[in-house]
A and B are shown apart, each in its own frame.
Chain A
Amino acid sequence: MTAIAEREVLVRAPAEVKRARILGIIYILLAIVVYFVFAVGTEGDVTFRFGESPGDLDWTVSSSALATFAAVIFGFLGGVQLTRGFGSKTNVVLGIAMGIFAFTFLGWAGAGKSIGIVGILVTTVAAATPIAFGALSGVMCERVAVINIGIEGMLLTGAFTGAVVGTVVSPFFGIVGAALAGGLMALGLAVLAIKYRVDQIIAGVVINIFALGLTSFVSSQVLVENSAELNRPGVLGPIRIPILSDIPVIGRILFNQNIFVYVLYTLVIVMTFLLFRTRWGLRSRAVGEHPKAADTLGINVFRTRYRNVFYGGLIAGFGGAYFTLGSVGAFNENMTAGRGFIGLAAMIFGRWHPVGAFAAALVFGFAESLQVRLSILDVGIPSEFLLMAPYLVTIIVVAGVVGGARAPAADGQPYIKE
């Protein structure tokens, strides 16, 4: 234990200071870029539409005034970050700053045009859903100190099973099957990581490669020829929640989505409650922070880890079904395209907390949604660069926050009972 204390005192403090300084400089640079690129020389007004039809809840503003305002805010944030710092609010402030930046960027790109904000945010929630499920799966596993790099593979297995079972039986059973398939993959990870004490990152990569190989093999061997009988589950449409969906703006964004999104909301609330307000949560976190102490107090470390990793797999498998049953309507090889890894980044950005992970997933979902919108707006940026946006944002986020976020203390270490 002296080792941990030593790291806290000797290494972490200077690193934290350095990181805060880098972040402050980034804010200042952002202010300069926003002012000189987006404000200077930009003409025309931009209209943000928050309502259902044009003219309904419109907000028209000069693009350059908006950018100047944003530059002032970034300058202020940079100043505070460099002098006082935001403490535990650093990630929240960073998230808000990214939102402001995106808004300013839209204002610049859409100068002289009007932009439907609601449409962008509806897509944001949809795009964030599988990422959020991946992130919650990560939270579930890492809270008991098992690193789950295999989320991508679990999403993919879920997507595959969801499509096949969803076509052959019914979409409901497709979802159940997807969750169980994800759970099965997670058990594989658990056996490798907990029983055989395999390096957890390698075990996760094994899960990913195995899931990719297996789903691609069966897909090319069986699904392609019989797509009508095996791979046409149909998409579960949005369900309007009465009353809540009538709330102006927010209602249409949050409460006119499909079943996956509502399960996600529920899961975020339930997981937060369970992890931080129940005996199960306390025990899980104890196993993640100090397994030896937990063991001494009579908690079965192995069983807790197996169980939580299995739950994590159920969550990821369920989220994977979103790809086939909630969005595309058929399974394609490698259709998750790195969402599981983005989910991992969301988990880190969200500081291993369900609510944080969900909020972080929304940031990534926003990047994806923005990319779709910008390619429609045709702002002169090649589509390939727009497609990079979610991945670039992920790198920036991980580079910007990982040093400051603290993983569960025993994360990644196998437990050996003495």
Chain B
Amino acid sequence: MTTETTPDKEVTPERPGWLERIAPSDIDWKTVVVIPLLAVLSALIIGAVIIILTDGFGAVLPAYSALFRGAFVGWTSISETLLAATPLILAGLAVAVGFQAGLFNIGVEGQMTIGGLTAVIVGFSFEGLPWLVHLPLAIFAGFLGGALWGFIPGVLRAKTGAHEVITTIMLNFIAYRTLDYMLKLPFIQKEGRFDPVSEDVLASARFPRILDWLPVENASRLRLHLGFILALAVAWLIYWLLYRSTIGYEFRAVGASPSAAKYGGIGVATAIIAVMTLSGGLAGLAGSNETLGVVGRAVPGFTASIGFDAIALALLGRSHPGGVVMSAILFGALRAGGRTMQAQSDVGIDLIVVIQALIIVFIAAPELIRSVYRVKGGKEQARVTRGWST
């Protein structure tokens, strides 16, 4: 995109504050830590205002204390928080990988749907396989399903210029309808059921629980499973790919400037297709995490708008795998706590969506945070997506 105007830097030089002095200079702590935390705080404050407007002043404290208890207090809450964070990590990585290459994948929902479905099909189809073979096979099937759903907009973008924002949104709707259709096929639909529910995934393809050995009360309610470890491993792998490998360098070069990358000898079209395919595959992993994990089957809407939360947390984590893991745990806490809030107070779980949207507003516009809290310094937000042409 050669026509982009890079904002002329007219920031007046500032003296290094105490934060810069105690922190390593190569990490921009204000941008990476301070502003995100203030963004979350501000979102919670405005969320409280919304509660006051809809349910009155007295509803705030019970709602937020239930939110906190449901997220952090006790083993069950922590297990639920990390459980909710697991698909968010994978989905967030999917969006982050796209952002790194200047592509905006809003299609994580659809890719999760297809990936989760293919994982389930493999998960119930092969009887008698050992756990060590069957589970990886099902996970891989989920990756492939999602990758296919990401490959399509990748090719469309690279070959025809069709903007991925529109094509991925449309593919979301197509994926939902595909799921509805597939769940009614005789070989997928659960025997004896007339509603759209798939067969149950065999035990050999389910993620085993990892905390139920703990010597605590209600250990059987600790639902955290191996998927969490897998998600962390994938996050590390993506970090390595993006920052330590040639391919990752090429991806990021395409994101920084496609024209420069092109003159540097990088195949931009190939990179776009590869990134979208990888992004879709990661989303597929998130989907299979849902179907092979807690639920154990595919039902309509099993993605639970994780794909949209993923956008928020990729921005919050500044598209860095480490940041994505942190943000995913925060959002997992909001989800797990939100359920407790819905159950124990008058405030519904949809408030969480509002809070998350507010978090992105503040993350996307750090100037807002800087002016309200008088934080000085920090880097200028760079553009991460591209317009209709190119």
Report if A and B associate in a common complex: yes
Residues of A participating in the B interface, judged by any CB pair closer than 8 Å: 3-4, 6-7, 15, 19, 22, 147, 149, 192, 195-199, 201-203, 205-206, 209-210, 212-214, 216-218, 220-222, 337-338, 341-342, 344-345, 348, 382, 384-385, 387-388, 391-392, 394-395, 398-400, 402-403, 405-407, 409, 411-414, 416, 418
Partner pick for B173 among A147, A192, A210, A337, CB 8 A cutoff: A337
| Residue among A197, A203, A205, A348 facing the most chain B CB atoms (10 A cut-off) | A205
- Given contact pairs A22-B160, A221-B54, A388-B174, A411 touches B387 in the complex (Cβ within 8 A): yes
Asked if A201 contacts B381 (CB within 8 A), the reply is no
Q: List 21 A-B contacts (CB under 8 A).
A: A192-B364, A196-B368, A197-B7, A201-B165, A202-B364, A206-B361, A210-B354, A210-B361, A213-B350, A217-B351, A217-B354, A221-B54, A338-B172, A341-B170, A342-B170, A384-B178, A398-B166, A403-B160, A413-B4, A413-B387, A416-B8
Q: Does B357 contact A (CB under 8 A)?
A: yes
Asked if B169 contacts A338 (CB within 8 A), the reply is yes
**How far apart sit A341 and B163, CA to CA, in the bound complex (Å)?**
12
Within 8 A of A (CB), among B301-358: 308, 311-312, 315, 347-348, 350-354, 356-358
Asked if B361 contacts A398 (CB within 8 A), the reply is no
Residues of B participating in the A interface, judged by any CB pair closer than 8 Å: 2-5, 7-8, 50, 54-55, 104, 106, 156, 160-163, 165-167, 169-174, 177-178, 180-181, 308, 311-312, 315, 347-348, 350-354, 356-358, 360-361, 364-365, 367-368, 381, 383-390
**How far apart sit A214 and B49, CA to CA, in the bound complex (Å)?**
13
Instruction: Determine the chain B residues whose CB is within 8 A of the CB of A403 once the complex forms.
Output: 160-161
- New contact pairs (6) apart from A214-B354, A341-B165, A395-B170, CB-CB < 8 Å: A210-B354, A342-B170, A391-B173, A394-B170, A403-B161, A418-B8
Instruction: Determine the chain B residues whose CB is within 8 A of the CB of A418 once the complex forms.
Output: 8
Question: Closest approach, in angstroms, between the C-beta of A301 and any C-beta of chain B?
Answer: 13
Instruction: Determine the chain B residues whose CB is within 8 A of the CB of A345 once the complex forms.
Output: 166
Asked if A210 contacts B358 (CB within 8 A), the reply is yes
Closest 5 A/B residue pairs (Cβ): A213-B353, A412-B387, A217-B350, A210-B357, A384-B181
Question: Closest approach, in angstroms, between the C-beta of A217 and any C-beta of chain B?
Answer: 4
Asked if A395 contacts B354 (CB within 8 A), the reply is no
**How far apart sit A30 and B352, CA to CA, in the bound complex (Å)?**
48
Q: By DSSP majority rule, is chain B's interface helix, strand, loop, or mixed? A: helix
Instruction: Determine the chain A residues whose CB is within 8 A of the CB of B5 once the complex forms.
Output: 413, 416
Q: By DSSP majority rule, is chain A's interface helix, strand, loop, or mixed? A: helix
- Given contact pairs A3-B3, A209-B311, A392-B174, A217 touches B361 in the complex (Cβ within 8 A): no
| Residue among B55, B165, B350 facing the most chain A CB atoms (10 A cut-off) | B350
Instruction: Determine the chain B residues whose CB is within 8 A of the CB of A220 once the complex forms.
Output: 348, 350
Question: Closest approach, in angstroms, between the C-beta of B173 and any C-beta of chain A?
Answer: 5
**How far apart sit A392 and B169, CA to CA, in the bound complex (Å)?**
11
Asked if A6 contacts B181 (CB within 8 A), the reply is no
Question: Closest approach, in angstroms, between the C-beta of A247 and any C-beta of chain B?
Answer: 36
Instruction: Determine the chain A residues whose CB is within 8 A of the CB of B390 once the complex forms.
Output: 7
**How far apart sit A184 and B354, CA to CA, in the bound complex (Å)?**
17
Asked if A399 contacts B385 (CB within 8 A), the reply is no
- Given contact pairs A217-B348, A391-B170, A395-B162, A407 touches B388 in the complex (Cβ within 8 A): yes
- Given contact pairs A348-B388, A384-B181, A395-B167, A199 touches B160 in the complex (Cβ within 8 A): no
Asked if B385 contacts A199 (CB within 8 A), the reply is yes
Asked if A407 contacts B389 (CB within 8 A), the reply is yes
Instruction: Determine the chain A residues whose CB is within 8 A of the CB of B383 once the complex forms.
Output: 199
- Given contact pairs A205-B311, A221-B55, A409 touches B3 in the complex (Cβ within 8 A): yes
Instruction: Determine the chain B residues whose CB is within 8 A of the CB of A341 once the complex forms.
Output: 165-166, 169-170
Instruction: Determine the chain B residues whose CB is within 8 A of the CB of A213 once the complex forms.
Output: 350-354, 356-357
Asked if A344 contacts B178 (CB within 8 A), the reply is no
Instruction: Determine the chain A residues whose CB is within 8 A of the CB of B55 once the complex forms.
Output: 221
Asked if B364 contacts A19 (CB within 8 A), the reply is no
**How far apart sit A412 and B389, CA to CA, in the bound complex (Å)?**
10
Question: Closest approach, in angstroms, between the C-beta of B61 and any C-beta of chain A?
Answer: 17
Question: Closest approach, in angstroms, between the C-beta of B11 and any C-beta of chain A?
Answer: 12
Partner pick for A402 among B160, B169, B360, CB 8 A cutoff: B160
Instruction: Determine the chain A residues whose CB is within 8 A of the CB of B387 once the complex forms.
Output: 147, 201, 407, 411-413
- Given contact pairs A147-B387, A348-B388, A217 touches B50 in the complex (Cβ within 8 A): yes
Instruction: Determine the chain B residues whose CB is within 8 A of the CB of A416 once the complex forms.
Output: 5, 7-8
- Given contact pairs A15-B161, A384-B180, A399-B160, A7 touches B106 in the complex (Cβ within 8 A): no
- Given contact pairs A15-B161, A398-B166, A206 touches B350 in the complex (Cβ within 8 A): no
- Given contact pairs A222-B54, A388-B177, A394 touches B7 in the complex (Cβ within 8 A): no
Partner pick for B106 among A205, A214, A388, CB 8 A cutoff: A205
Instruction: Determine the chain A residues whose CB is within 8 A of the CB of B170 once the complex forms.
Output: 338, 341-342, 391-392, 394-395
Instruction: Determine the chain B residues whose CB is within 8 A of the CB of A338 once the complex forms.
Output: 169-170, 172-173
Question: Closest approach, in angstroms, between the C-beta of A377 and any C-beta of chain B?
Answer: 19
Asked if B311 contacts A199 (CB within 8 A), the reply is no
